[in-house]
Structure 1
Amino acid sequence: MTIGPSSRIGVVGPNGIGKSTLLRVLAGTEEPDSGTVERSPRTMTVGYLPQETDAQEAETLLGYLARRTGVAAAEAELDRLTQLLERRGGDDPEVLGRYSEALEVFVALGGGDLAARVGEVCAQVALPADRLQVAVTELSGGQQARAALAAILLARFDVLLLDEPTNDLDFDGLDMLEGFLGATPAAVVAVSHDRAFLDHVVRRIVELEEESHRAVEYAGGWTELVAARRLRRHHQEEAHRSNQEERARLTERLRTQVSWSEKGVRAEKRKPRDPDKAQRKTRADRTERQASKVQATERKLAQLGEAEKPWEGWDLRLRLAAGRRSGDVVARLHDAVVERGSFRLGPVDVEVGWRERVAFTGPNGCGKTTLIRALVGGLEVASGGKYLGPGVVVGDMDQARSLAEDPEEVLLPAFCRRTGLLPEEARTLLAKFSLAADQVERRWRLLSPGERSRAMLAALAARPVNCLVLDEPTNHLDLAAIEQLEEALAGFDGTLLLVSHDRRMLENVGLSRTIDVGALPRTHGRGDEGRPASPAAPAARARARNGA
């Protein structure tokens, strides 16, 4: 794998194949088992921004941004060399040379004007200035997502290694990210499951194959990869079919030739022919020719070889069974106000009918999750009316992936409690979602985000429901699983409430309408995620009722 100046490379592959490991090896934080990673020039700066927030204990937002942009480490090296120069009288040529290099790195990473740029970028991503001295762990989920985005926008590395950079970003954040990556002079390598992002940003894709664990490179974005992979599979299928047909033809010919040869030998033994020498020679020549034909066919069979059957791989085969029909009105909020801490949404009027497919969109922190929890979940309204229709059976995949009530709880008993399945039944179902025997015995907190997501999907498939509530369902799923989820949703005969920033999924699930939650009246307390409050307006309430 070669990364050149201004490269735009996407990395895809199934969960657990080693995409994040590849980035860590490229970043130099993990050593390869074999082979080497070469950098040219030696002073090249490489920034690795992992999938998780990775904030250190009590680390403020400002400190977090300085660390993730590489400025904190560069400044620490400058300070160390400054102290070393002072101890040596300031005239050590070797230390002076190292100091000059360190200063160049500090300046190249944007250390000189970081403070000013932090203020601008935080305003751009809607992070209030008073958050800079707050510990990252005390920020809301939406603010942490915007902090990760701010770290990317502030970065001035020569090479940027990004692990799932679109996770948890709203549409505004996605636009900012894609605009920055399109303009930066840095080379970019991004692990991503976001198909629109891969089409908009990258110019070639490296796929880590499940069957071989080899890296296969494709020119273009996701759309070009799908077309090239489809063509490649078609050629493999044709080669395999031709190989099998030719093998069958040669095998049948060999069987016939051997049969003829054996038949002649048996006849000669049973009833010897004329002892005439010339006749015997003719018969011997004929037998030799027949034997030669058998050998020639055997050689052709050996030379034919085996054309491998195209790899099938793990198939989720998710089926979302719809339960009995609910009433015409699935859920309704009338003049409802919903409060969560100091966050207040409403008053709003929203009604969802049977078999509607409704997407809830809007910026992070605007109240999408709050609204769907008030509609069909356990969140009560502070005022106004709330109605859940008769016969509504809800299947829920929340953004936090909270199948287990306690993060220390083991997956198997938590899954059995959630679904009502017996342990052996649960094991069988979880295995279909690529969760093996050792994984189902792990504590919930020790499972990877992808494993938790697959466990949540398995829980949805465990029992019939007639109302699906999916809150950012594509987060931490690989691309194959996302596409199989879309296929399952296409066949689901019930009501769908969807929160997603996956632009391709919103295009593919056949939405009835979209509700722009960002247009609804709401207020925020100090430190809560979201934009400035929208004034209460009848027009906004009408949009929620009728769809945007």
Structure 2
Amino acid sequence: MTATLVAKNLAAGHGDRSLFSGLDLVVAPGDVIGLVGANGAGKSTLLRLLAGLSTPEEGELRLSPPTATVGHLPQEPERRPGETVREFLARRTGVAEAQTTMDEATQALVDGLPGADDAYATSLERWLDLGGADLDERAEEVTDSLGLRVGLDQLMTSLSGGQAARAGLASLLLSRYDVFLLDEPTNDLDLDGLERLERFVTGLRAGTVVVSHDREFLTRTVTKVLELDLAQQQINLYGGGYDAYLEERDVSRRHAREDYEEYADKKSALQDRAQTQRSWMDKGVKNARRKASNDNDKIGRKFRSEASEKQAAKARQTQRMIERLEVVDEPRKEWELRMEIASAPRSGAVVATLREAEVRRGDFTFGPVSLQIDWADRVAVTGANGAGKSTLLGALLGRVPLDAGAAALGSGVLVGEVDQARKAFHGSESLLEAFRAAVPDTEPAEVRTLLAKFGLKSEHVTRPAVTLSPGERTRAGLALLQGRGVNLLVLDEPTNHLDLPAIEQLESALDAYEGTLLLVTHDRRMLDAVHVTRRFEVASGKVTER
């Protein structure tokens, strides 16, 4: 069925901090609404409100018809122990919950409880609408088409990262909700997966709200953009696609700045005029008092008195003009990630080598691969999930044991990895303590200052690192790169969980970085924006330089 989701005057906060208020939104059939905003603006919170999983501080939600299904598909970086692929797909598609409800209704029917007939009919209709009748058959077809050649009864925890990403995509492609709420669906998808996801989203008749930091995906899919502007504490809905939003937003911000500057200039000029008039008035009064004692000319005294009154009247008139000005608030300056990647002294001419390197993992064989990375090479590594990209990085850095061949790092190589840095912030110790453990020679005050540059303020540094969001952990990892010098920078999907302004700042920082770079990403805009000197394509364990 087609359904419409209406949000009216929603408000939400986090602790003492307001995220948004007065939010109105209509998600109609066929809409694809891109939800954008800085990390911490409340995007995931809004999706949970729209899904009915959280209660708004103010406002209301209305779903028409009320029996329509709303699918909330959030990020799931951690897999559930004991859950099979089949169970994962049933849960994510809503079929598992519908099956449980139908089983309960069936038992009520057997027990002869009042209203059991209607409850069973409703639950059966919901189960059928969600695709429960043929889910297993469709799951076999979809997982096979995605190259996920594992049994549906295999545990999710046993899958590789690439396989888990395909399973996540399969759960989306198998879903038959009436309204879709997608939170970062592009994370960890390869180029083929991204194209499949784009075709699925653009082909939906259901209304969709999607949070994504993949600029190319947004450009290709969304019909509207809802911006949660944390800096200005505003909510803006833009018609048209993502590129139209960027243009309209820039024009709007420029006009807001111009309007404020015009107001500020006019107010300043009037205040200067009023100050001058008051000065002339005060000077006139002093002169009048000085002359009053030895001036018997009544006409002169009257003239000077009238002149002072005129100046006072002018000053009052100018003050009224200031008060009648329509106040224009100064646009708040947006927080910007001013990132620099600290460069260590250069390494030797040869940074890393592989010589007939092979890695065997069950049925998968990586290699044999022979290659050399030289100083200041800037290498982009691309390939499908499961092709061997992470194995290539691990072999080059000496983290993955070789079954044949040899690997070596050159002299003076200091490695910095975002993926490895993220893992440093998963413990129960505070962010400050975890950061200092990685850079023990840095004083706490310096650490706090550095983290603040990455949007991690006082309320973040004292929290247990494990409670940070994925985006906050990524920021901490980037801060770590700035806190210690590196001359071999290894970035494995660095844009995952970063907001759009931070991604652009990272691209600028990479342009200024002078060391050796190994970049693995499926972000098509980043591949275009970052200057590279070499490109490696990894397919089925083989590495080809293009």
TM-score normalised by L of structure 1: 0.89
Q: Deviations over 1:136-182 (max 9, x none)?
A: 22322222211111111001101000110011111111111111111
Match of 2:143 in 1: 122
Match of 2:95 in 1: 71
Q: Of 333, 342, 349, which aligns to 1:321?
A: 342
- In the TM superposition, what are the counterparts of 1:356-505 in structure 2 within 5 Å? 356-398=377-419, 401-403=422-424, 407-424=427-444, 425-505=446-526
Q: Of 13, 20, 26, which aligns to 1:2?
A: 26
What is the Cα deviation at residue 102 of structure 1? 2.3
Pair 1:41-2:69 in alignment: no
- In the TM superposition, what are the counterparts of 1:168-247 in structure 2 within 5 Å? 168-247=188-267
Aligned sequence identity (%) = 47
Greater strand fraction, Structure 1 or Structure 2: 2
Match of 1:349 in 2: 370
Label 1:336 to 1:481 Cα distance change in 2 as closer, same or farther (>3 A): same
The 8 Å contact of residues 203 and 220 in structure 1, kept in 2 or not, is answered as yes
Label 1:465 to 1:129 Cα distance change in 2 as closer, same or farther (>3 A): closer
Q: Which amino acid aligns with 1:271?
A: K
Q: Of 39, 45, 49, which aligns to 1:21?
A: 45
Which secondary structure state, in structure 2, belongs to the residue aligned with residue 31 of structure 1?
A: coil
CA distance in 2, matches of 1:30, 1:176: 31
Which secondary structure state, in structure 2, belongs to the residue aligned with residue 308 of structure 1?
A: coil
What is the Cα deviation at residue 297 of structure 1? 0.5
CA distance in 2, matches of 1:229, 1:316: 19
Which secondary structure state, in structure 2, belongs to the residue aligned with residue 439 of structure 1?
A: helix
Match of 2:9 in 1: none
Q: Which amino acid aligns with 1:206?
A: L
Which secondary structure state, in structure 1, belongs to the residue aligned with residue 352 of structure 2?
A: strand
Q: Deviations over 1:431-480 (max 9, x none)?
A: 32222344334443322211211111111001222221111111111112
CA distance in 2, matches of 1:286, 1:481: 61
Question: Mean alpha-carbon deviation: is it higher for 367-376 or for 298-307?
Answer: 298-307
Q: Which amino acid aligns with 1:331?
A: A
Label 1:56 to 1:339 Cα distance change in 2 as closer, same or farther (>3 A): closer
Q: Which amino acid aligns with 1:486?
A: E
CA distance in 2, matches of 1:476, 1:386: 32
The number of residue pairs the alignment matches comes to 520
The 8 Å contact of residues 27 and 161 in structure 1, kept in 2 or not, is answered as yes
Pair 1:105-2:105 in alignment: no
What is the Cα deviation at residue 17 of structure 1? 2.0
The 8 Å contact of residues 357 and 367 in structure 2, kept in 1 or not, is answered as yes
Which secondary structure state, in structure 2, belongs to the residue aligned with residue 152 of structure 1?
A: helix
The two structures, once aligned, show a CA RMSD in angstroms of 2.3
Label 1:520 to 1:378 Cα distance change in 2 as closer, same or farther (>3 A): closer
CA distance in 1, matches of 2:326, 2:84: 63
Q: Which amino acid aligns with 1:107?
A: L
Which structure 2 segments of 5+ residues have no match? 1-24
Q: Deviations over 1:171-221 (max 9, x none)?
A: 111111111111121111111111111111111111111135442112233
What is the Cα deviation at residue 306 of structure 1? 4.3
Q: Which amino acid aligns with 1:172?
A: D
Which secondary structure state, in structure 2, belongs to the residue aligned with residue 35 of structure 1?
A: strand
Label 1:443 to 1:138 Cα distance change in 2 as closer, same or farther (>3 A): farther
The 8 Å contact of residues 413 and 423 in structure 1, kept in 2 or not, is answered as no
Label 1:32 to 1:278 Cα distance change in 2 as closer, same or farther (>3 A): same
CA distance in 2, matches of 1:55, 1:513: 35
The 8 Å contact of residues 53 and 148 in structure 1, kept in 2 or not, is answered as no
Q: Which amino acid aligns with 2:212?
A: S
Q: Deviations over 1:239-285 (max 9, x none)?
A: 22222221221122112211222222222211138756666555444
Match of 1:51 in 2: 75
Which secondary structure state, in structure 1, belongs to the residue aligned with residue 29 of structure 2?
A: coil
The 8 Å contact of residues 55 and 64 in structure 1, kept in 2 or not, is answered as no
The 8 Å contact of residues 171 and 363 in structure 1, kept in 2 or not, is answered as yes
The 8 Å contact of residues 421 and 477 in structure 2, kept in 1 or not, is answered as no
The 8 Å contact of residues 288 and 301 in structure 2, kept in 1 or not, is answered as no
CA distance in 1, matches of 2:366, 2:186: 26
Which secondary structure state, in structure 2, belongs to the residue aligned with residue 133 of structure 1?
A: coil
What is the Cα deviation at residue 293 of structure 1? 0.9
CA distance in 2, matches of 1:370, 1:73: 38
What is the Cα deviation at residue 56 of structure 1? 4.2
CA distance in 1, matches of 2:100, 2:529: 49
Pair 1:260-2:280 in alignment: yes
Q: Deviations over 1:34-64 (max 9, x none)?
A: 1111111111110001111565442221112
The 8 Å contact of residues 53 and 144 in structure 1, kept in 2 or not, is answered as no
Q: Deviations over 1:313-365 (max 9, x none)?
A: 32221111222233333222122213456643110122222222111111111
Q: Of 321, 325, 328, which aligns to 1:304?
A: 325
Which structure 1 segments of 5+ residues have no match? 522-540
- In the TM superposition, what are the counterparts of 1:137-152 in structure 2 within 5 Å? 137-152=157-172
Match of 1:250 in 2: 270
The 8 Å contact of residues 399 and 472 in structure 1, kept in 2 or not, is answered as no
What is the Cα deviation at residue 395 of structure 1? 1.4
Q: Which amino acid aligns with 2:35?
A: V
Which secondary structure state, in structure 2, belongs to the residue aligned with residue 2 of structure 1?
A: strand
Question: Mean alpha-carbon deviation: is it higher for 378-387 or for 354-363?
Answer: 378-387
The 8 Å contact of residues 365 and 541 in structure 2, kept in 1 or not, is answered as no
The 8 Å contact of residues 331 and 389 in structure 1, kept in 2 or not, is answered as yes
CA distance in 1, matches of 2:77, 2:133: 25
CA distance in 1, matches of 2:111, 2:367: 64
CA distance in 1, matches of 2:400, 2:440: 24
Which secondary structure state, in structure 2, belongs to the residue aligned with residue 493 of structure 1?
A: coil
Match of 1:133 in 2: 153
The 8 Å contact of residues 380 and 518 in structure 2, kept in 1 or not, is answered as yes
The 8 Å contact of residues 395 and 469 in structure 1, kept in 2 or not, is answered as yes
Q: Which amino acid aligns with 2:484?
A: R
